[in-house]
Structure 1
Amino acid sequence: MKTLKVKELQSQSEIREAFPIIRQLRTHLDEDTYLELVIDAQKNDSYKMFALYDNKKMVAVTGFKPMITLYYGRFVWVCDLVTDHQLRSKGYGEKLLTFVHKWAREKKYESVALSSGLQRTDAHHFYEDRMDYDKVSYVFKTSIND
């Protein structure tokens, strides 16, 4: 029997356990930088990290934060959502993103938003077709380092 469980990752060892999966999405990060960023974001930016386990094996990870802006109002921003590449198309991403929706609803947030890299067309189909997300904007970025 399949046993799926969502668990918040809070300890350093739990956060480290998620690194091999997160690394599949955030390829620019080494483990120490990743750990430092997650701990800093949890402490200073209300960042939440959850993992989906199937029979005690971590299969997908999400990181999100509750936010308030004039554009979206009270919402949850999904910063990271990734299923282990060997286990994709098994419904794990849908299960974990549905968990984020439930979390947001229970905490009285009005919506859930995210951005996805332009090259990630499979992810775009997932968000639009399976999860009923609307494409509402482009995200722009510039570096401010000299």
Structure 2
Amino acid sequence: MKIEHYDTATDLARCFALMRELRSKLTNEKQFIAQVQRQQAQGYRLAGLEQDGKPIALAGYRLLENFIHGQFCYVDDLVTVSEARGQGMGATLLNHLAVIAREYGCGQMVLDTAISNSGAQTFYQRVGYTALGLHFYSDLT
């Protein structure tokens, strides 16, 4: 399978239903496209695998730099259609992102997952990721 990058509004519209499987708060396709476009202005990219012209796995990512990690690739989103989970597509996308990250001089891949998401934690550990900390946030609303 070939890895695609989704950049245009038409491309992004094709990704909406699958991204909604991961991000249940997404309810409006046009708002999704507008948000991705805002995030693209901040370096966000969306890659995916397709089957029969339809995205079946997606990875949203950014190439960043900070004092903690130096140059790194942050994986914002990773989702595979439920019926295709366990077939290696998530690992394929993460490996592809690692190649891109190395080409840009990144030394690490970084991502977050919910403490309650033990399935994702098991997956990330299986593909070589290590849990190193906790992610804290404060709701400002």
Unaligned runs of at least 5 residues, structure 2: none
Q: Which residue of 1 aligns with 2:74?
A: 77
Query: For 2:2, what is the secondary structure of its paired residue?
Result: strand
Name segments (4+ residues, structure 1) moved above 4 Å. none
Pick from 26, 29, 32: which aligns with 2:30?
32
Query: For 1:23, what is the secondary structure of its paired residue?
Result: helix
Unaligned runs of at least 5 residues, structure 1: none
1:119 aligns with 2:135: no
Question: Could you tell me the percent identity over the aligned residues?
Answer: 25
Q: Contact 1:61 / 1:80 at 8 angstroms: preserved in 2? A: yes
Q: Which residue of 1 aligns with 2:131?
A: 135
User: What is the identity, as a one-letter code, of the residue corresponding to 1:58?
Assistant: P
Q: Which residue of 2 aligns with 1:42?
A: 40
1:57 aligns with 2:49: no
User: Relative to structure 2, which stretch is displaced further, 101-110 or 54-63?
Assistant: 54-63
Aligned length: 140
TM superposition score normalised by structure 2: 0.95
TM superposition score normalised by structure 1: 0.91
Give RMSD over aligned pairs.
1.1
Query: 1:17-56: CA deviations, max 9, x gaps?
Result: 011111001001122322111000102x110111112353
Pick from 136, 139, 144: which aligns with 2:140?
144
C-alpha distance in 1, partners of 2:65/2:100?
A: 16
